Structure 1
Amino acid sequence: MTEKRTISRVEPDTMALRALAHPQRMRMLGLLRIEGPATATSLAARLGLNSGATSYHLRQLARHGFIEEDEARGNARDRWWRAAHESTTFLAKDNTDEDAVDAGIAFAQAALNTQIEQMQRALARHVELAPEWRKASTISDFNIPLSAAQAEALVEKLHAVLWDAMESAPPLGETYETGVEPVTIILHAFPRPPESGGA
């Protein structure tokens, strides 16, 4: 059995959450978390940006503590950056600060847009996957009548299963054994909104 590890997490304040809500910054942080340290030049090439804009976004991420300089890799010419944490959490359950709620919603919207892009890329690649990876993939939704307390309890159970799997897996950005790849599991839970319009 794999030894469990501690997952480093950050719960950003309102200003940091607003800074992270920029789509390019979210993509950069995601790449640094999943693929490991990189330079502004290599990230710019991956994301189709110029290196000046990429450097600016990286400095903003560093300013708010999401990333840090990887001094072991850097030199006078190239500055390497790495993710400072493996996970970001937001929208604390006891949060009544409207500004913080607004910042959380802005972050959630940016995250949702990124997740939709990921799902579209995954779906476009689905036909190329080996049969075992097709079988291991899913696009599912479940509609279950629940009270707010029941929904919260269910989400907590699902989170516990996912955190357990993450704690038992090797860290992201490392070299994995053959057949192991980073798998993205996206969990959304919300009271179903009514359809707009209608007869």
Structure 2
Amino acid sequence: MAKQERRVINRVRPDLDQLKAMAHPVRLTMLGKLRVDGPATASSLAALLGLNSGATSYHLRQLADAGLVVEDTDRGNKRERWWKAAHESTVTEPSRADDVEERAVLGAYHGVVAHQAAAQIEQAAAEFPELPKEWADLVGASDYNVYLTPEQVRRVKDAVHAVLGEVAESARDAESAPADAAPIVFQFHTFPRPGTLTHRDEEGQ
């Protein structure tokens, strides 16, 4: 039996301009829809998000200018353009402590991500009573409050991402997943307990 080739996920490590483009709730939602649901037109995205076509086209242009979405030339015609995500996922690099603008933009981006993650959790909780038992039994909501060094935090993050990355590469879409699989979301957030490290070190000021 031939060994199955391991598929490498196309990730983007965003630069400052890309972070600015994604640090907007509408654009981040659009990008997420294109990544998860596949290519779409501006009009279909407008209907999905409850926007007018002008606003949708504007946000798509901002994402395209940042290299985050590209035109899907295999679809559509001269009257209607299709768009697709240029990457499957985003990996943020550590910010430079002395770059005030970068830290601010990265903070804004994380704020939008956190808001959308919370909204998705709330929606999932609302749907929980209607889930089949075999799936409801797997729903989890846990948090851990521990005292760790920066290096220990980094080791935990790397280990979790390694496990989830392996799963994602083996079953990223419906075509590559088993017949009884369902689309599942794992959310992994790491942060110092709010209110405990709100100061900037002297080097980063």
For normalisation by structure 1, the TM-score amounts to 0.90
Q: Report the alpha carbon displacement of residue 93 of structure 1 after superposing the two structures with TM.
A: 5.9
Give, in angstroms, the shift of residue 192 of structure 1: 1.4
AA at the equivalent of 2:124: A
What is the root-mean-square deviation in Å for CA atoms of aligned residues? Answer: 2.0
Q: Distance in 2 between matches of 1:177 and 1:9?
A: 24
Alpha-carbon separation, structure 1, partners of 2:137 and 2:146? 25
Measure how far apart 1:131 and its partner are. Answer: 1.0
Other structure's SS at 2:137 match: helix
| Structure-1 residue corresponding to 2:182 | 181
Which residue in the other structure is 1:59 paired with? 61
Alignment of 1:9-158 (within 5 A): 9-92=11-94, 96-158=98-160
Q: Tell me the SS of whatever aligns to 1:136.
A: coil
Q: Tell me, yes or no, if the aligned pair for 2:96 and 2:102 is still in contact at 8 Å.
A: no
Q: Structure 1 CA distance, aligned partners of 2:154 and 2:96?
A: 13
Distance (Å, rounded) in 2 between the aligned partners of 1:137 and 1:77? 44
Q: Does 2:6 correspond to 1:4?
A: yes
Structure 1: 5+ residue runs without aligned partners?
A: none
Moved more, 83-92 or 33-42: 83-92
Larger CA deviation: 120-129 vs 102-111: 120-129
CA contact (8 A) 1:69 1:82 kept: yes
| Per-residue deviation, residues 158-193 of structure 1 (Å, max 9, x unmatched) | 111111111111347x58553323211111112213
Cα 1:96/1:2, change in 2 over 3 Å: farther
What SS does structure 2 have at the residue aligned with 1:82? strand
5+ residue gaps, structure 2, are 197-205
Which of 25-34 and 140-149 deviates more?
Answer: 140-149
Instruction: Say if 2:11 and 2:88, in contact at 8 Å, map to a contact too.
Output: yes
Deviations 1:48-93 (A, max 9, x none): 1111111111111111011110010020111101111011122426
**Aligned equivalents of 2:98, 2:18: Cα separation in 1:** 18
**Cα distance in structure 2, aligned partners of 1:46 and 1:138:** 29
CA distance in 1, matches of 2:108, 2:171: 30
Q: 1:161 aligns with which of 160, 163, 179?
A: 163
Structure 1 contact 3–168 (Cα < 8 Å) conserved: no
Greater RCO, CA 8 A, separation 6+ = 1
TM-score between the two structures when normalised by the length of structure 2: 0.87
**Partner amino acid for 2:129?**
V
Following superposition, the deviation at residue 111 of structure 1 comes to: 0.6
> Paired residues, what number?
194
CA contact (8 A) 1:25 1:57 kept: yes
